[in-house]
Amino acid sequence: MTDKYAVIGNPIGHTKSPLIQGMFAQATGRDIDYTAILGPLGEFAKTVDAFRASGGRGMNVTAPFKLDAFAYATDLSERARLAGAVNAMKFEGERVFAENFDGVGLLRDVTHNLGCPLAGKRVLLLGAGGAARGALLPFLEQKPAQLVIANRTVDKAQALASELAGHGPVSGGGYAELAGQQFDVVFNATSASLRAELPPVPATVFAEGCLAYELAYGKGLTPFLRLAQNAGVRRLADGVGMLAEQAAEAFAWWRGVRPDTRAVISHLTVPLV
């Protein structure tokens, strides 16, 4: 029988996951059936129960269900626990194993695909939501010189930094505190780009040779990337590589083989213009 997998979200029509996982399956010679499921709001557990009953082996989880998946899981990985959110599940009998591959996927894109190691770097992370939470532990494991979290709600950034303080040099604060500081890598993990808006970050944060990374993908030159470009930043990237790499992590977790991501990244890349 063909093994069944799916991605669940609401809305879900925009998802690239069936395309990506289908390309991975073809490249690795794995026979899987991967579909997109529109999960009714308030019925996450019921929907997943039905998928498992039909023979489902695993799921990717996207907005707005990452916290529902966290609560649904029986076995949380350390990454998922620290992130407070789940983006992949694996079903084995009554057990639901849960992972968060967002941060490790982002890290692999930056270090492996873009050739930008974070060790010894000054790193700025804009935003303190789910995407930021998933990235913090993988970032700190790379031993940056400094990791600063900036957020509109200052208390949220400070609380997040305090939670991870034992893992490395991390601090949190507001955007106003960024004046006079410069960073080697700046990540935009806010939702501003989804609304074609700019987070209130000063253009002076970009150090010479800086990498500006937009976690949103397929949006072209977002207001954040345009700000960086106008500030003289030449190294610009969006989240398409992160999308592919976290998907590859989930595929490897399910199937025991990690697919090459280059073809998927090439297929999905939109010019930053």
Under DSSP, is residue 212 helix (H, G, I), strand (E, B) or coil?
Answer: strand
Is 15 annotated for ligand binding? yes
Q: Which of 108, 68, 62, 109 minimizes the C-alpha distance to 87?
A: 62
Is 215 annotated for ligand binding? yes
Is 190 annotated for ligand binding? no
Residues marked active site are found at 66
Residue 108 CA from chain centroid, whole number: 11
Is 154 annotated for ligand binding? yes
Q: Which of 202, 205, 162, 168 minimizes the C-alpha distance to 186?
A: 205
Question: What stretches of 127-182 adopt beta strand conformation (E)?
Answer: 146-150, 170-173
Is 10 annotated for ligand binding? no
Is 266 annotated for ligand binding? no
Residues 223, 192: contact at Cβ < 8 Å? yes
Is 87 annotated for ligand binding? yes
CA distance 119 to 117: 6
Is 196 annotated for ligand binding? no
Is 56 annotated for ligand binding? no
CA atoms within 13 A on the CB side of 212: 25
- Residue numbering of the annotated binding site for NADP(+): 78, 127-131, 151-156, 215, 239
- Residue numbering of the annotated binding site for shikimate: 15-17, 62, 87, 102, 217, 246
- Residue numbering of the annotated binding site: 15-17, 62, 78, 87, 102, 127-131, 151-156, 215, 217, 239, 246
